[in-house]
Amino acid sequence: MIKALKKLSNSQLAIPLFALFLVIVFNLVRDLSFFSISITTNNYGNTVLSGNIISILNGASELAVLAIAMTLVTSATKGQDISVGAVAAIAGSVFVSVLRGNDITLSVILLAFVTACIVAVLFALFTGMMVAFFNIQPMIASLILFTAGRPIAYWINGGATPTVESPLLGYIGSFIPGIPIPTPILIVIVFGLLVTLALRFTNLGLYIQSVGINERAARLNGINPMLMKLISFMILGVCVAIAGSINVCRIGLINHETILIDIEMDAILAVAIGGNALSGGKFKLSGSVIGAYIIQALTITLYAMKVSSTAVKAYKAIVIIAIVVIGSPVVQKYALQLRDKLFYNKPMKITENN
Amino acid sequence: MKNDIVLSMSGICKRFPGVLALQNVDFTLCKGEIHALMGENGAGKSTLVKVLTGVYQKDSGQIKLAGIDNEVAIKSPQDAQNLGISTVYQEITLCPNLTVAENMFIGRGNYSFINWRDTHKKASDILKKLNIPTSATRQLGTCSLAVQQMVAVARAVDMDCKVLILDEPTSSLDEQEVELLFSLMRDLKSRGVGIIFITHFLEQVYEICDRITVLRNGELVGAYNINELPRVELISKMMGKELDDLSKLQHRKKEIPENAPYVYEASGLSSAEGTKPFNFEIHKGEVNGFTGLLGSGRSESVRAIFGADKITGGKVKINDRLAKISKPKDAMKYGMGYLPEDRKQDGIIDELSVRDNIILALQVMKGFFRPFSKSEAEAFADKYIKLLGIKTASSETPIKSLSGGNQQKAILARWLLTNPQYLILDEPTRGIDVGTKVEIQKLVLKLAEDGVSVTFISSEIEEMLTTCSRLIVMRDRKIVGELKGEDMTQAKIMHTIAGEATHND
């Protein structure tokens, strides 16, 4: 038991799991019914699961997908892309624009999604080129689309905020008849599996981490650092298209001004909470995904506590400060020493910060 | 004694954890002289300079300056500056986005307001006085490197310095730029400034310096007038070998038949890192070496062979077939491996595990879509951890927590694992213990017996003599000679490095 605990406390996942644990304990103490899951019948007559847990898992879907991509970009380029929300608006607009040009069938939805993917990848590659070829800091490079992205999305649908309606879209955005779990959760599970397989059956993880940790050494071992950076941005493009499309299906319309607004900050935060260094290098995708769910769990908890939606951000900020401080090297070092003292009776060393 | 001594340091000791960096070093600098501080890597030059500039605190010893009766305590770079000791470092430490004048006056004096017109006028005057070809209002970054270097000097000089330390100021300058800097140095010398000049370029020492102080392994070898110390003797003093001893040294040699096939041939190869076009070839199963002082271009040459820097010209043949090597991956495809000189910057991926670091090169050669399974990778790593005796808790341990020697072995394992036909080892024995050094040399000879060609670079000439059957000698980024067989003696090497004809005496 202690051994397992020691291994866990050394692992990168210690912080996100600890944060998740805190959120859960807090809710257990506050109100047990927070965790209840009930079976209800929704407006369309489907039998579905509902409850706070389901809302958390469902609501964090877009964030979880984006957190995965943000982790890869962070690892390879030592920086973050802040244009994901804006590019998601573009992808969502393209998705809607293709849907509205045709009768909505499954194949049209697929076509719309693929088009959105291609467009989003191209935009992400633009940022990627800035980063890989011109060595511009990712945050500065993505500032371009952060600023210009939503206006471009505005232009795609002529400034309107068109709605798209079809039961098929409803299946993607909420429930497929006969399946009680919200579809976005299923999409995240499938996507997560694909990414896991990609990491297992290719050298994506090894190469990206090598480039992020030591670009010069990576090159001397035959890795093409520019290509790896571009690939991480391409994956980001695909993830952005997925997030944008899910969100459109969920809401049934595209509002280029508000769709996934500020999600880039949450995505970056998820990466950080997941125990990944924002300065790049070694990464753990599962950490970022847990980070995404923690952020969503916080929001839902605060809503459950009847905190007004404007105030939620302020409360979130306080909790996040706590999580980030707990995850900081200074506190980590102290915690490890405390652990050694408690479990192994080793004397505390005087901490020296350099 | 002379009464024009401006600085005297005596009995300086400096200890770092585990190393005695300076032992009882004496150093004197006279007014109006250019004094070279020479020594190989780790000799203690930079430690001495850092003690003088207050970056490090000396453990014992005295520093005296002209005009001050008591010994002076230098506790910070600010102290040194106030005492009139200024330093210009190898890398330009000014701000490229500020103007020349701003750079000259930034951070000096405690003023809240600044009169720009005065400042610019003052800066222009100094520039004119020192014949520096730039204007005070120009942005520093747009000036040539030499001018930037000279502005750094001007800044130092204007701070009323008595002692000016130039730490490798010429390493990034071309010949004309060096000339410019030298004329500035001569000018300062005539004004009575004492200059300490650190460089690896022998020619430059003999062109401009008056005296030389040689350090070796943290100890003072001696101080000499420049005309009393021929180059060969300087080199032997730096390396710590008496010429007589050297000629007697026995070394092992492995003869390579002239008709052995070439594994690698290059003609007119040059790279963007400033290597002059050179020809080079290596036989199958041969061990050869590039030698020369630091900065002679030996590392740049092997980097060019491996395609590590941008290749700007030349033809390459591998196994008698034309080959194009423009990036490391190309070289790897032809069965080449390269252990870089700078382990930290170019070798290890520090956060990754020992296992990932060992399999990296082979993994890249195998392909992006064909990763090794965990058990395969484990088997490779364990095999080499055992074979080379890498001391690590497990193959999962991050490589950064290993000692330098063990990191080096892991990088060596990385390339051995690729089963190369031609292996380039740049300073594989640097910073590792003697036992490991010998092991690595044995390994090199063993590889050669198995038919692998090896290029071996080491700062320690004995190592090269025991392992190499042919030595390519470099000076100032050019190949200046090739030694083999009977000619391979330390004396011959030193003469060739120094660029003098060998005397038979």
Q: What is the DSSP string of B343-376?
A: IIIII--TTSBHHHHHHHHHHHHH-TT-PPPHHH
Question: What is the pTM (predicted TM-score) of this model?
Answer: 0.74
Q: Report chain B's mean pLDDT, rounded to a whole number.
A: 84
In a domain, A241, yes or no: yes
A221, A232, A283: best to mutate for the B interface, most B CBs within 10 A: A221
Closest CA of chain A from B330, distance in Å: 8
Tell me: pLDDT of B31 over 60: yes
CA distance B10 to A258: 73
Topology, domain B5-229: Rossmann fold (3.40.50)
| Residue B111 confidence (pLDDT) | 67
Averaged pLDDT, groups of 10, chain A, 354 residues long: 65 82 87 86 82 92 96 96 96 95 92 97 97 95 96 92 90 90 95 94 95 95 96 97 96 92 92 89 93 92 87 84 79 79 59 38
Interchain contact, A224 vs B346, CB within 8 Å: no
Interchain contact, B360 vs A224, CB within 8 Å: no
Domains B5-229 and B285-304+326-498 belong to one CATH topology: yes
Q: What is the DSSP string of A292-344?
A: HHHHHHHHHHHHHTT--HHHHHHHHHHHHHHHHHHHSHHHHHHHHHHHHHHHH
| Residue A329 confidence (pLDDT) | 77
Q: Up-side HSE of residue A309: CA atoms within 13 Å toward CB?
A: 0
Residue B70 CB contacts under 8 Å (≥ 6 apart), including other chains: none
User: Which residue, A183, A194, A165, A214, is CA-closest to A61?
Assistant: A183
Closest CA of chain B from A89, distance in Å: 33
B332 Cβ under 8 Å from any chain A Cβ: yes
Tell me: pLDDT of B295 over 80: no
How much of chain B, in percent, has pLDDT values that exceed 90? 31
| Residue A349 confidence (pLDDT) | 45
Give B293 or A258, the one with higher predicted confidence.
Answer: A258
| Residue B224 confidence (pLDDT) | 92
CA distance B15 to B56: 10
Q: What is the DSSP string of B28-90?
A: EEETT-EEEEE--TTSSHHHHHHHHTTSS--SEEEEEETT-SSPP---SHHHHHHTTEEEE-S
**Domain count of the fold of chain A:** 1
Find the residue in B nearest to A216 (Cα): B346
In a domain, A247, yes or no: yes
In a domain, A249, yes or no: yes
| Residue B504 confidence (pLDDT) | 42
* Run of H or E including B24: strand B19-30
User: Which residue, B169, B35, B28, is CA-closest to B93?
Assistant: B169
B338 Cβ under 8 Å from any chain A Cβ: yes
Of A148-162, B206-220, B231-245, B392-406, the poorest mean pLDDT is in B231-245
Query: Which whole number is the average pLDDT over B407-418?
Result: 93
Buried residues in B59-70 as b, exposed as e (16+ CB within 10 A): eebebbbbeeee
Tell me: pLDDT of B252 over 50: no
In a domain, A184, yes or no: yes
CA distance B260 to B277: 25
Sheet containing strand B85-88, edge to edge, reads B60-65, B5-16, B19-30, B219-225, B211-216, B34-38, B194-198, B163-167, B85-88
| Residue B143 confidence (pLDDT) | 82
Closest CA of chain B from A66, distance in Å: 24
In a domain, A337, yes or no: no
Contact between residue A185 and residue A50 where contact means Cβ atoms under 8 Å apart: no
| Residue B251 confidence (pLDDT) | 46
In a domain, A301, yes or no: yes
Predicted confidence (pLDDT) per residue in B115-160, tens digit: 888 888 888 888 887 778 888 888 888 887 778 888 888 887 776 7
* Max mean pLDDT range (A82-86, B189-193, B495-499): A82-86
| Residue A207 confidence (pLDDT) | 96
Look at strands B262-271 and B275-283 and give their pairing.
Answer: antiparallel
CA distance B355 to B373: 12
Sheet containing strand B478-484, edge to edge, reads B336-339, B422-426, B453-457, B287-291, B470-475, B478-484
Interchain contact, A217 vs B346, CB within 8 Å: yes
CA distance B505 to B503: 6
Interchain contact, A222 vs B351, CB within 8 Å: no
* Run of H or E including B232: helix B231-239
ipTM over 0.90: no
CA distance B460 to B451: 25
| Residue B248 confidence (pLDDT) | 39
Topology, domain B285-304+326-498: Rossmann fold (3.40.50)
Query: Which whole number is the average pLDDT over B478-486?
Result: 86
Residues of A with Cβ-Cβ distance to B420 under 8 angstroms: none
Closest CA of chain A from B327, distance in Å: 8
Tell me: pLDDT of B502 over 70: no
B327, B333, B350, B351: best to mutate for the A interface, most A CBs within 10 A: B351
| Residue B162 confidence (pLDDT) | 86
User: Which residue, A193, A232, A192, A183, is CA-closest to A210?
Assistant: A232
Residues of B with Cβ-Cβ distance to A217 under 8 angstroms: 340, 345-349
Tell me: pLDDT of B408 over 70: yes
Interchain contact, A206 vs B371, CB within 8 Å: yes
Predicted confidence (pLDDT) per residue in B82-100, tens digit: 888 888 876 667 888 888 8
* Run of H or E including B495: helix B490-498
Per-domain boundaries in chain B:
5-229, 285-304+326-498
In a domain, A342, yes or no: no
| Structure tokens given for A242 | 């997925």
Interchain contact, B368 vs A207, CB within 8 Å: yes
Residues of A with Cβ-Cβ distance to B356 under 8 angstroms: 206
Give B168 or A167, the one with higher predicted confidence.
Answer: A167
Of B327, B350, B363, the CB nearest to A203: B363
Interchain contact, B352 vs A200, CB within 8 Å: no
In a domain, A166, yes or no: yes
Interchain contact, A201 vs B308, CB within 8 Å: no
